[in-house]
Amino acid sequence: LCSSMKSPNMAFFKQQKVEDVYEIGEELGSGQFAIVKKCREKSTGMEYAAKFIKKRQSRASRRGVRREEIEREVTILQQILHANIIKLHDIYENKTDVVLILELVSGGELFDFLAQKESLSEEEATRFIKQILDGVNYLHSKKIAHFDLKPENIMLLDKNIPIPHIKLIDFGLAHKIEDGVEFKNIFGTPEFVAPEIVNYEPLGLPADMWSIGVITYILLSGASPFLGETKQETLANITAVSYEFDEEFFSNTSDLAKDFIQKLLVKDTRKRLTIQEALSHPWIT
């Protein structure tokens, strides 16, 4: 079945040259198969971020992203409209790339903001976490799992205000979770992935909740709970749920904050906090 049958709205990305419509500017970041550049819509003067995704050229190739995967990312972005999630403006394609024109988020990564501040007060941390939870609540209400929540994928709209507005970005790994359809995969960044990903078990929305636990730990301490000397060690720490609240970093942290983290970093997905439970946890409310 060709993809145009499956998703009539999707298969057709604009074929005209993106350079004709947008002035392409400086590079903002890059990943394995994608590069993001600032751009300006010529007709309106509006600024956006252009994400150039390299297309896989043949079935045998290991370079580039398969078209189905690009379409999956786009289909998910098209279903989303929320203040804490990046917006998709337009889509172009040429022989080598699919180009997503996305909302420009210019305050940098939450990661860099943290690096400048060492660690955050609990009050600052909860204001960030609350926004992350709001964005994830929206996704989970639509049965969308992000699967790549980490500080690099949490961007600030403007870093020069006391509590910056955050946006979740990079839906390259996101999936719609369907009832009765088992989904297994191995992906993500070792430091942030849930045990069920490491163990190649069925995946769903709870994997995001684990990542939120890791992110919260990092926000409060500047340290990473499971990070080992090697990738193997990190993954072993995750499956053993081997972490502690090191006195050096957590001496002034409230029991409520630790309770929130402890209820997210739970191996059994059925016992892990859901997004609704996290939003109503006393540390957050």
Residue stretches of the annotated binding site for ATP: 55
Catalytic pick among 97, 148, 170, 208 = 148
* Residues in Cβ contact with 218 at an 8 Å cutoff, skipping those fewer than 6 apart: 114, 151, 224, 225
Told to judge if 268 belongs to the known catalytic residues of this protein, a careful annotator would answer: no
CA–CA dist 75, 77 (Å, integer):
6
Give the end-to-end CA distance of the chain in Å, rounded to a whole number. Answer: 48
CA–CA dist 91, 101 (Å, integer):
6
Q: Pick from 82, 109, 86: which is nearest to 219 by CA?
A: 109
CA–CA dist 124, 190 (Å, integer):
26
Provide the annotated binding site. 55
Neighbours of 189 (CB within 10 A): 16
Residues marked as catalytic: 148
